[in-house]
Structure 1
Amino acid sequence: MSEYEKQLKAFTVLHRATSAVHEATKKDIQQNDLNLTEFAVMEMLYHKGDQPIQIIGKKVLIASSSITYVVDKLEKKGLVSRIACPSDRRVTFVSLTDQGKEMIESIFPSHEKKIASIFDVLSAEELQLLTEYLKRIGLHASKL
């Protein structure tokens, strides 16, 4: 097998594995009337606290135009609220409501278990190596 064929195979395996992990977590999250992006925003707010809307878009890896739509949907569901920054009118923070906190606290443990079950086929050492390799590939790809 040529070097190119090995690289193409690695790409295909990575893509299929990513898709499978994505689908497994998506099914789990959709049971709670959320999509993956909505869950990612709520999870970030749960672990990091109130965040400027611009930062959420960067951290959750979605376009700034899309983050507004996602926050609008979460706000309509009563799960988040917007808070104007008192010192900078250009900045709006997003915060979990009490209902949002209750929801994420009730669903996050099962999400955590789902992720653990996905990766439990790897030893601690294999998981560490996988993380290092994927980080290296991601950093290199971002420079290309």
Structure 2
Amino acid sequence: MGTKFKGNKKEIQALDSFIKLKRASESLSSRVTAEFSKLNISESQFGVLETLYHLGPLCQKELGDKILKSTGNITLVIDNLEKRHLVERVRSVEDRRFISIHLTGDGKKFIESIFPDHVKRITNEFSVLTVEEQETLGNICRKLGKKDTSHE
């Protein structure tokens, strides 16, 4: 179902495309992250653990930027992961104002135990697309994600 908006052809096409993209994204995300509730973990918490696992320790702002969360939200996410002993805040010896977030041993074990199944779910979901379609989708998403609006 597309838009019911009665604008010009360009507006209708853009809105229709946006609606389809949004619905597909929400539906896919819901299916891929359904397991998280069974693991008592939020999508944001998973994002933090996965980012730290693959990139290593980061400061809170960098983590928020990587998983597209605000400073306030990322603080709460890290607080909750810290309560579960999955991450820890480490203050720099050179500059005590700088605090980086590290996976704990338990955090590393946890993400290592759940990440392979997450990858399998994503791979399964994307199996409806050919390799070429996945590459095209990736290029389109990159183009939309990096659109420069400074000249508008």
TM-score, normalised relative to structure 2: 0.88
Is the 1:83–1:93 contact (alpha carbons within 8 Å) kept by the matching residues of 2?
yes
1:142, CA displacement in angstroms?
5.5
Structure-1 residue corresponding to 2:108: 101
Which one has a bigger Cα radius of gyration?
Answer: 2
Is the 1:53–1:91 contact (alpha carbons within 8 Å) kept by the matching residues of 2?
no
Uncovered stretches (5+) of structure 1, i.e. residues with no partner: none
SS at match of 2:96: coil
1:32 lines up with 2:39 in the alignment: yes
Distance in 1, matches of 2:97 and 2:62, equals 13
Structure-2 residue corresponding to 1:7: 14
Determine what percentage of the aligned residue pairs are the same residue: 33
1:6, CA displacement in angstroms?
1.9
Structure-2 residue corresponding to 1:132: 139
Is the deviation greater in 88-97 or in 9-18? 88-97
SS at match of 1:140: coil
TM superposition outliers: structure 1 runs of 4+ over 6 Å: none
Distance 1:23 1:111, change over 3 A: same
Uncovered stretches (5+) of structure 2, i.e. residues with no partner: 1-7
Structure-1 residue corresponding to 2:4: none
Larger % of helix: which? Answer: 1
For 2:138, give the aligned amino acid.
Answer: T
SS at match of 2:33: helix
Distance in 1, matches of 2:48 and 2:42, equals 10
TM-score, normalised relative to structure 1: 0.93
For 1:137, give the aligned amino acid.
Answer: L
Task: Specify which structure has the bigger relative contact order, considering alpha-carbon pairs within 8 angstroms and separated by 6 or more residues.
Answer: 1
